[in-house]
A and B are shown apart, each in its own frame.
Chain A
Amino acid sequence: MPRGALRTAGAALSPSPVVRRTAGFSRLRRPRRSPFCRVCGSFQNTMSSLLRAFLLAAAALCATGASRATTTITLATFPDLDRAARAALPRWHAAHPDVDVKIVSLQYADHHDRMTTDLATGSGLPDVMAIDFKFIGKFTGSGGFEDLYRPPYDAAGLRSVFPAYTLAQASNAKGELSALPADIGPGTLLYRADLLAKAGLTEADLTKDWPTFIAAGVKLKAATGACLLASSNDVVDIVLRSNLPPGEGIYFDRAGKVLVDDARFVRAFELGRAAHLAGIDAGTTMWTNEWVAGFRSGRIAGQMMGSWLAGHLKNWLAPDTAGKWRSAPLPGGVYASYGGSFYAIPRRAQHKAEAWAFIQFLTTDRQTQLDALRQFGNFPSLLSAQQDPMVAEPIAFLGGQAAGVLWRDTAARVPAIPVDKYDAMATDAVRAEYQNVIADGKDIHAALADAKTLIEHRARR
């Protein structure tokens, strides 16, 4: 059910479900050489090498069959993340012939619902569980996973190989690390350079600060009829992520106090409302027909999202707009991350040692990470993979812009915002009140006070 699945997606700053990241970078790989090898040119030679390979393989098969039993570990995951894991399997098998991996993939929402019930009953749990960013707070907070900082795991040594904020996201209040990041989504503003040029605007008009951004949106709308925002919610979401004191969450502070009526929220609501009143938003919800059609028709000329949106735009959202998009930093100097995926080991997993080896292979193996980038556009979580020249290659869809450099830069600057298990609930509450503000003209302070009451009620435990 593509649509239903789409639905569940895209709470701001959480990635889309079904359709997550696909090729931002994807390039066709060269066809492999035929067995009739051109270099040596000899059919006989090829035959004999084939025969040798066959005999070797047969011998290897006998050896494994005789000496050790094969272990099968289960990976529970969801599209498109499953494709990256599947593509990495041949290399995994080459290194670990005795560990087989069974991949069980369900649709985004189904996968996370199923994992919730599996954790609840403690049965049928996979050895490796893929978790999307939207659920990471809730899952790690449950304590149903191995603490990867403790022996026999040695994730403490991995602190410096991932962006710091990703490990903060995967840690719970007790300081346990429950998961390792597989890919990340550095936040960026994607905009239509052609429409901007038509209105006589430059990228600096969008990124300087919020008043300039809104003014630019008004100018753009007057000149081209296009909206700079799909929804003014996007502004609220970004402003909420700016200027956070270190160690403080978006909705809760370190002590669990609800922050929802402080100045940051007031400012976010005010700027969102200003953008809405200026008429620069198309009033569409992400991952709906209107949203998609808005990109195709050029009615929506900008979207703040994870870098992986470039891949979606290229592959299915608006392939005909190739070359017209550019990627810019988020307005007002904010560095944020949108989504990302993680791998964790449930406490009740059967084959923990093998699971740990497999997770390390998926997250800390440079080649695996780069393959996922090349084939599916998953931006690497591994810092050393981010340094690969492949990241700096120009992207045709973005008019040849080497946007990977910008995204790498953003990833390095995203602050480590602690994730709370009630974040998703708080997001819903705040969003509902924001709707009251723009649709019914509810007073901002009253709306925030109501949201705070609700969140305090829900998070009482």
Chain B
Amino acid sequence: MTSPLTSESAIAPPTPVHANASRAAWRRRARKLAPYAFIAPFFVLFGVFGLFPLLFSIWLSLHQWDAASGLAAMHWVGLENYWYAITDPWFSKSLLNTLWFAVASGVPQHLVALPLAFLIHMTLKRSRNFVVGAYFVPYVTSSVAIALIFTTLFSKDFGVINAMLPGTPIDWLGDKFWARITIAFVVFWRYLGWNVVLYLSALQVISGDLYEAATLDGASRWQQFRYVALPLLKPMMFFAITLTLIGNLQLFEEPFILIPPDSGVATSVMTTATFMYRMAFSDGDFGTASAVSWLLFFIIAALTWGNARLFGKEGASDVAR
């Protein structure tokens, strides 16, 4: 370390004092700037892929723009896109579909995940990680694989499910009613493991003393779940339900991959996110698509706020206690 320095100072002509000073100043400045340079990658990426699209979509939602015509073709229409989206017959239809999916797939997720997590927590010891992992696999499985498996399972003429059921084969993916049920089921199946993991992690921090005390008082397993675990899970339930709410209202993948967009039932399973995609990439109306995305954001924000009002205060106060 020292030798290069000494050799340098030996060879180099004596440095003027002011140069030394400026070098020191530069070094000080570099030292000050270094943290910003280190944190820059995040901010650059966030700016390019997060913030800019966000702001641009607000700007876009106030314009009429056929994307294929280029940026120059944007022209200002103010809030007209919002009105146009609200009055579109398919928008309200998609909203109803989305709400239906949110309820039909969201409620069972929690009704099953809660007792299931409790059961895993209380009964499984060594195999717990394996079982939880198995429930979690759908969450991390590629949607293309899911589409392949489920379209095969639910095939009307050649599917395993219809082969097991007696009577006339059900057109799981081609009939309005059944297509919705099938999609709700796939969403349920996919996110159940996620919720189990959430609830399990919350159960693990509940002190074992409480259960012991309840046992001494003669509480059954069900009573322990109902009167000990459930009240203490409230903060996590608030968190998990909020995530489900947001996720389900943005539902896109499952209907999109399971039902061909040109099949007749596609509109019966069209969620608001799918509608937005169609608006942009099929109709080429990016302005209205952006407006739809912001309308969806406001709806999600309102519902989350409502959820927080209903559930959150209680949950939060439980934590405080």
Contacts and interface: CB of A to CB of B under 8 A. Distances in A.
A289 interface: yes
12 contacts: A115-B68, A119-B68, A120-B69, A138-B68, A142-B66, A143-B69, A285-B263, A290-B157, A428-B282, A435-B265, A439-B265, A457-B89
Interface in B149-182: 151-152, 155-158, 171, 174-176
Contact of B151 (A10, A288, A422, A458): A288
B138 interface: no
A72 B173 CA distance: 47
B261 A122 contact: no
Residue from A288, A294, A427 whose CB has the most chain B CB atoms within 10 Å: A288
Contacts of B266: 428, 432
Contact of B69 (A142, A294, A454, A458): A142
Contact of A425 (B68, B71, B265, B283): B283
A454 B68 CA distance: 23
Contacts of A233: 264
A202 B144 CA distance: 43
B151 A119 contact: no
Given A7-B257, A435-B265, A122 B282 contact: no
Given A142-B284, A450-B89, A289 B151 contact: yes
Given A283-B156, A290-B155, A422-B283, 20 more contacts: A4-B147, A113-B281, A119-B68, A142-B67, A142-B70, A284-B174, A285-B174, A285-B262, A289-B152, A290-B157, A293-B158, A427-B262, A428-B267, A432-B264, A435-B264, A439-B175, A439-B264, A450-B89, A454-B89, A457-B84
Contacts of A422: 283
B309 to A, nearest CB: 36
B88 interface: yes
B217 to A, nearest CB: 56
B262 A144 contact: no
B64 interface: yes
B67 A120 contact: yes
A460 B77 CA distance: 14
B258 to A, nearest CB: 9
A138 to B, nearest CB: 6
B118 interface: no
Nearest to A453: B89
B69 A119 contact: yes
Interface of B: 64-71, 73, 84, 87-90, 144, 147-148, 151-152, 155-158, 171, 174-176, 257, 260-268, 278, 281-286
A8 interface: yes
B68 A142 contact: yes
A1 interface: yes
Nearest to A232: B264
A45 interface: no
Nearest to B67: A120
Contact of B158 (A7, A285, A289): A289
- Chain A, interface size category, equals 35 or more
A421 B66 CA distance: 11
Residue from A233, A290, A293 whose CB has the most chain B CB atoms within 10 Å: A290
A453 B87 CA distance: 11
A431 interface: yes
A122 B69 CA distance: 9
Contacts of A7: 257, 260-261
Contacts of B283: 422, 424-425, 458
A11 B64 contact: no
B264 A434 contact: yes
A299 B265 CA distance: 22
B90 A454 contact: yes
A299 B155 CA distance: 15
B174 A139 contact: no
Contacts of B265: 435, 439
Contacts of A457: 84, 87-89
B61 to A, nearest CB: 15
A432 B284 CA distance: 19
A428 B174 CA distance: 16
Interface in A111-152: 113, 115-117, 119-122, 138-139, 141-144
Contact of B68 (A144, A432, A434): A144
Contacts of B278: 428
Interface string A396-411: 0000000000000000
A427 B282 CA distance: 11
Interface string A287-298: 111100110000
A52 to B, nearest CB: 52
B155 A289 contact: yes
B69 A283 contact: no
B158 A290 contact: yes
A137 to B, nearest CB: 10
A413 B262 CA distance: 28
A461 interface: yes
A428 B156 CA distance: 23
Interface in A1-46: 1, 3-4, 7-8, 10-12
B70 A119 contact: yes
A264 B261 CA distance: 25
Contacts of B174: 283-285
Contacts of B67: 116-117, 119-120, 142
Contacts of A144: 68-70
B68 A285 contact: no
A227 to B, nearest CB: 11
Nearest to A8: B261
Contacts of B264: 233, 285, 431-432, 434-435, 438-439
Nearest to B157: A290
B284 A116 contact: yes
A120 B71 contact: yes
A421 to B, nearest CB: 7
